[in-house]
Chain A
């Protein structure tokens, strides 16, 4: 439940007013009445005492002026019901062994009223007694006063309390209005102005000329909006400068992207160049077959055309030519596939996923990579172990991208074993690269493992960073593994590395089926 400031002010004022009104209307009258009753009792008792003293003086000193003055004073009170002199006599028995105290009314004013000597106060009358002892007479003054005065006073107090409560209530309401006007209204104006400033209207100012905290708040608000306006102007200027800088940065980024693309292309071309020899070797084989079988077929055709050739021989020759043509076609297709693969590798285009026989693809990539390094280093020797899972058939991949990754990893593996071969003199060590596939539940796992130099932990953390390379200057761009990482991620897969420095490295590519 939201309670507004105005409501809070009203609640506070009303609470105070109600408490005050309650005090004036109930507590104060009760206390006043108690006080009044107490004073009234005291006053009557004093009168009784005065009269008793007057009587005592009158009897002992024969000075009746005191009692007359007191009596005149008492009689002047309209609430007097009676005043009596009670005479107290001690009555002894005949043997003078015991006595009784007898109280009788000596005189009463007004004359003719019958007074009970044991009368006490009740709701309608207050009775007070004051004793006196003289040689002439022992007794007491019994004074009875009507409570009408108290009842009237109570009524007056209640009326006064009601009137004061009403005044307090009205004053409270006026204070409430005043507070609401002086606190709530400026605060609400401040809130509205703050909201409009929040919406962007910095022309908002509050007009509050009070010299209290709210006035100071208004001044602070105006100062803040001024500062905000200035700051916004400065931000605008800064934004313009930033926009300009941003444009420049955008241009720089585009240049960088272009440079990066060029670098990636260079990397690609570098790997392509590295593979050219292997590819050429691969193409050379089918071309040799094509050439040889073509030449052989040409010779068979000449033999077929010779006159001495029998029909039976012709039939055999045609069979051989047919066989040769099939072999030529087979090796021609093989060369075609190699060339297409090379083209795919070099082409800068975004591919689409197609079903590819992954084992066959790895087979060819391994051959290409191996011959690539062999073309560069004819003395390179390495045992290549292929451990392909037969259960794996076609997998949806972008073939040119996965080829690129595999060839890159194989190149690194061959480089690692060749480095170890160059650096270490280990007679029992044999360079080995294991290419494997494994069909897991929903993943095809490709493994490329070597027993080369291995990677230190420090290097391992950085190998997927762009432009990080451990190869000598000119031999690597540092983009190879970074591109591999991006390609595998774009396939929704994962690439992981396990390595032990000096013992070997295994890269694992997990592709979701």
Chain B
């Protein structure tokens, strides 16, 4: 009797622990998933409120210099040593961080486009985009910045 009670208690405890671990695992994955999602922000001047992914990549690779109203395109990115920066390199440019740097170095060196501005924090990036006409930046998609995000192919997250 006593033994069964102890076993039941142990089972309950294990179940609790497993449940806790599952909760923790799920919450972590949810967080990673949430972090994996990127969004595009843009300055009110010049930057359209929606665009296609192709158009986005054209802009972000410096192949397009000006917006439709003539405003110069200014690209803002998170540094490649940040998770968002690495995610951006992978998702937008399909490159590693180093490859992205070489990519931009080549472009800037040959004068084919203006250099993007890299930031350490998202706040700085958002602030920069908000203050710079024609600026477009890649940020982490969160619920707080949902309203500011530009729809790409009709979606606010990438």
Contact of B102 among A67, A68, A108, A136 (CB under 8 A): A136
- Residues of chain B within 8 A of A62, CB atoms compared: 79-80, 101, 118
- Residues of chain A within 8 A of B110, CB atoms compared: 107-109, 111
B98 adjacent to chain A (CB < 8 Å)? yes
- Residues of chain A within 8 A of B109, CB atoms compared: 55, 67, 71, 83, 85, 107, 109
Bound complex: CA of A65 vs CA of B74, how far in Å? 12
- Residues of chain B within 8 A of A67, CB atoms compared: 105, 108-109, 115
Q: In the bound complex, do residue A64 and residue B108 qualify as a contact, i.e. CB atoms below 8 Å apart?
A: yes
B39 adjacent to chain A (CB < 8 Å)? no
Q: In the bound complex, do residue A136 and residue B106 qualify as a contact, i.e. CB atoms below 8 Å apart?
A: no
Q: A55-B105, A136-B101, A137-B102 are in contact. Are A63 and B118 (CB under 8 A)?
A: yes
Q: A63-B118, A64-B116, A136-B98 are in contact. Are A58 and B111 (CB under 8 A)?
A: no
A106 adjacent to chain B (CB < 8 Å)? yes
Q: In the bound complex, do residue B115 and residue A65 qualify as a contact, i.e. CB atoms below 8 Å apart?
A: yes
With both beta carbons as reference points, the residue of chain B lying nearest to A111 in the complex is identified as B110
A59 adjacent to chain B (CB < 8 Å)? yes
Which residues of chain A in 480-510 are interfacial with respect to chain B, using CB atoms and an 8 Å cutoff? none
Q: What distance in Å separates the Cβ of A232 from its nearest Cβ neighbour in chain B? A: 99
- Residues 75-113 of chain B, each 1 if its beta carbon lies under 8 Å from chain A, else 0: 000011000000000000000001001101110111100
Residue of A106, A107, A108 with highest tally of chain B CB at under 10 A: A107
- Residues of chain B within 8 A of A58, CB atoms compared: 101, 104-105, 108, 115
- Residues of chain A within 8 A of B115, CB atoms compared: 58, 64-65, 67-68
Q: What distance in Å separates the Cβ of B152 from its nearest Cβ neighbour in chain A? A: 24
- Residues 384-421 of chain A, each 1 if its beta carbon lies under 8 Å from chain B, else 0: 00000000000000000000000000000000000000
A438 adjacent to chain B (CB < 8 Å)? no
- Residues of chain B within 8 A of A63, CB atoms compared: 118
Q: What distance in Å separates the Cβ of A209 from its nearest Cβ neighbour in chain B? A: 75
Residue of B102, B104, B108 with highest tally of chain A CB at under 10 A: B108
With both beta carbons as reference points, the residue of chain A lying nearest to B119 in the complex is identified as A62
A327 adjacent to chain B (CB < 8 Å)? no
A6 adjacent to chain B (CB < 8 Å)? no
Bound complex: CA of A62 vs CA of B98, how far in Å? 10
With both beta carbons as reference points, the residue of chain A lying nearest to B85 in the complex is identified as A62
Q: What distance in Å separates the Cβ of B113 from its nearest Cβ neighbour in chain A? A: 10
A331 adjacent to chain B (CB < 8 Å)? no
Contact of B105 among A65, A75, A85, A109 (CB under 8 A): A85
B132 adjacent to chain A (CB < 8 Å)? no
Bound complex: CA of A67 vs CA of B105, how far in Å? 9
Bound complex: CA of A68 vs CA of B115, how far in Å? 7
Give the top 10 A-B pairs by smallest Cβ distance, nearest first. Answer: A64-B115, A62-B118, A68-B115, A64-B108, A107-B106, A107-B109, A62-B79, A68-B108, A136-B98, A109-B110
Enumerate 10 A-B pairs (CB-CB under 8 Å) in ascending A order: A58-B101, A58-B105, A59-B101, A59-B105, A67-B105, A67-B109, A68-B115, A71-B111, A85-B109, A109-B109
- Given known contacts A107-B105, A107-B110, what 7 new A-B pairs fall within 8 Å (CB)? A55-B105, A58-B104, A63-B118, A64-B115, A75-B111, A109-B111, A136-B102
